[in-house]
Amino acid sequence: MYDVRSMKAEEFIDDQEILDTLAYADANKDNVEVIDRIIEKAKERKGLSHREASVLLACEMPDKIEEIYALAQQIKKDYYGNRIVMFAPLYLSNYCVNGCLYCPYHLKNKHIARKKLTQEEIVKEVTALQDMGHKRLAIEAGEDPVNNPIEYILECISTIYSIKHKNGAIRRVNVNIAATTVENYRKLKDAGIGTYILFQETYHKKSYERLHPTGPKHDYAYHTEAMDRAMEGGIDDVGLGVLFGLEMYRYEFAGLLMHAEHLEAVHGVGPHTISVPRVKRADDIDPDEFDNGISDDIFAKLCALIRISVPYTGMIISTRESQAVREKVLPLGVSQISGASRTSVGGYAEEEPEDENSAQFDVSDRRSLDEVVNWLIKLGYIPSFCTACYREGRTGDRFMSLCKNMQILNCCHPNALMTLKEYLEDYASEETYKIGMELIDRELENIPNPKVKQIAYEHIHDIAEGKRDFRF
């Protein structure tokens, strides 16, 4: 029985409720009256339920889809302006005891190079990331209680925060590790992590069990209930995601929103971010073996619908996607992207030898961070290296209430400009510096509050003089 407040995975992600939702969506996908009513509701910025959003996903009327895209763009503008937050993944270890069929780190893959960074190697990796200009990392590790115990992860986080190279610093470490216990989540919280990210991969229980035939990840309930345990452990920013291509995208989309509704109903705060990865080619993985791949158009529609269904949740795309696809979905609601990513273990400090592949997937967007920053500026976006909220204690419901009252706009915009200024001073190429400074000059004028504008002007000047780390 479907119960949004239940703490049991099979009840808050009830299979029958999803099937009923899909049937309801099919029954109403041409019903203009229902569709208009749902779009009107979305215009109030209060989000949509999984049933309402699923109707819009099923709808194929071109004029309605246009309306949805226009609304997604408007909501993106209202809440996120033209800022795009930058981050990079850091792979700590690809030892893994699970048997995930779509990931080359699975236990039975004997020819992939297995690596685990030592603390000395982490210093090298993080120094290389700082030298590019990154301030925000997402650390990744396979599940392996012997090679990657929680103590190892905690030690890595502590090392990462301690490294200060030139003007560099990693100011926020998000963590993407396997589902774990409340006690371990508490330890991660105490270590000062930002968001805890865990992709569901698929909400379809039977497919989930088939795709995860061996290892602790096989347990659907333990995996699906991880975010509840994380929140119980005090982590109030959690990031959801499914791996599109594994199951039917309409099923996944409904499950994803049901999960968000569950977190909101039980913990009073929805997901901080939603990621939208698609299955990609990798060492012994052929994405064509999964027959639920989605086209770029459906991918864009999903992004737009996530934006209007959960307006306050950040949306992340990675370098799994090409420059062209990223360009297409940025205006539809994406708020965070990775840049210059390496998906191999130890890939930042040194290029991997040809015969030693430790990457989790093939990167589609292979540009340097400076090229990505330059590209964003030319498209009219402000690349932001801001990490202010977490460091000011604006997490969980404190963050959400600021966001819902649109107060976040008084922080994000000047913070984006100040952190971009730091990037330009310390890491940018000559051309990026030039167009970046022009952007900052223009955008400073768009700060509505005169006092904030004055302070931002002063801080931008201070950064040029060598000072760092200002924030609202």
Residues 6+ apart with CB under 8 A from 50: 21, 253, 254, 257, 258, 261
Footprint (CB under 6 A) of ligand SF4, residues 102-121: 103, 105-106
The answer to whether residue 224 forms part of the interface with ligand SF4 (CB under 6 A) is: no
Residues binding ligand SF4: number (CB under 6 A)? 20
The answer to whether residue 408 forms part of the interface with ligand SF4 (CB under 6 A) is: yes
Strand partners, 172: 136
The answer to whether residue 242 forms part of the interface with ligand SF4 (CB under 6 A) is: no
Between CA 35 and CA 420 the distance in angstroms is: 41
Identify the CA nearest to 342 among candidates 326, 324, 320: 320
Identify the CA nearest to 200 among candidates 221, 174, 175, 183: 221
The answer to whether residue 35 forms part of the interface with ligand SF4 (CB under 6 A) is: no
Of 28 and 387, which CB lies nearer to ligand SF4 in the complex structure? 387
Between CA 401 and CA 312 the distance in angstroms is: 9
Angle at 159 between CA 155 and CA 161, to 5 degrees: 120
Among 98, 319, 338, 343, binds ligand SF4 (CB under 6 A): 98
The answer to whether residue 217 forms part of the interface with ligand SF4 (CB under 6 A) is: yes
Strand partners, 238: 196
Residue written as token pair 């307006």: 311
Residues 6+ apart with CB under 8 A from 459: 414, 418, 467, 470
The answer to whether residue 290 forms part of the interface with ligand SF4 (CB under 6 A) is: no
382 contacts 84 by C-beta, under 8 angstroms: yes
Residue written as token pair 């937050």: 85
The answer to whether residue 169 forms part of the interface with ligand SF4 (CB under 6 A) is: no
Please state the closest distance from residue 317 (CB atom) to ligand SF4, in A: 16
From 27-35, 285-293, 298-306, 384-392, span contacting ligand SF4 (CB under 6 A): 384-392
Identify the CA nearest to 315 among candidates 337, 342, 300: 337
The answer to whether residue 85 forms part of the interface with ligand SF4 (CB under 6 A) is: yes
From 122-130, 281-289, 320-328, 381-389, span contacting ligand SF4 (CB under 6 A): 381-389
Of 98 and 343, which CB lies nearer to ligand SF4 in the complex structure? 98
The answer to whether residue 384 forms part of the interface with ligand SF4 (CB under 6 A) is: yes
From 1-9, 93-101, 226-234, 253-261, span contacting ligand SF4 (CB under 6 A): 93-101
Of 69 and 361, which CB lies nearer to ligand SF4 in the complex structure? 361
Please state the closest distance from residue 60 (CB atom) to ligand SF4, in A: 33
Among 18, 39, 337, 386, binds ligand SF4 (CB under 6 A): 386
Cβ-based burial of 44 (10 A; exposed 0-12, middle 13-18, buried ≥19):
exposed
Please state the closest distance from residue 269 (CB atom) to ligand SF4, in A: 14
Among 130, 174, 358, 387, binds ligand SF4 (CB under 6 A): 387
Between CA 132 and CA 102 the distance in angstroms is: 31
Please state the closest distance from residue 33 (CB atom) to ligand SF4, in A: 37
Distances (CA, A) of 194 to 261, 291, 359, 379: 21, 35, 24, 29
Strand partners, 244: 278
Please state the closest distance from residue 217 (CB atom) to ligand SF4, in A: 5
The answer to whether residue 313 forms part of the interface with ligand SF4 (CB under 6 A) is: no
Among 48, 86, 88, 100, binds ligand SF4 (CB under 6 A): 100
For residues 293, 294, 296, 302, the Cα torsion angle rounded to the nearest 10 degrees is -140
Footprint (CB under 6 A) of ligand SF4, residues 126-165: 142-143
Of 69 and 79, which CB lies nearer to ligand SF4 in the complex structure? 79
The answer to whether residue 365 forms part of the interface with ligand SF4 (CB under 6 A) is: no
Distances (CA, A) of 185 to 148, 178, 208, 240: 15, 11, 23, 16
The answer to whether residue 388 forms part of the interface with ligand SF4 (CB under 6 A) is: yes
Residue written as token pair 């990167």: 363
Between CA 149 and CA 144 the distance in angstroms is: 7
The answer to whether residue 412 forms part of the interface with ligand SF4 (CB under 6 A) is: yes
Between CA 42 and CA 35 the distance in angstroms is: 11
Please state the closest distance from residue 194 (CB atom) to ligand SF4, in A: 9
Residues 6+ apart with CB under 8 A from 427: 131, 132, 133, 369, 370
Among 261, 415, 417, 439, binds ligand SF4 (CB under 6 A): 415
Residues in touch with ligand SF4 (CB under 6 A): 85, 96, 98, 100, 103, 105-106, 142-143, 178, 217, 384, 386-389, 408, 411-412, 415
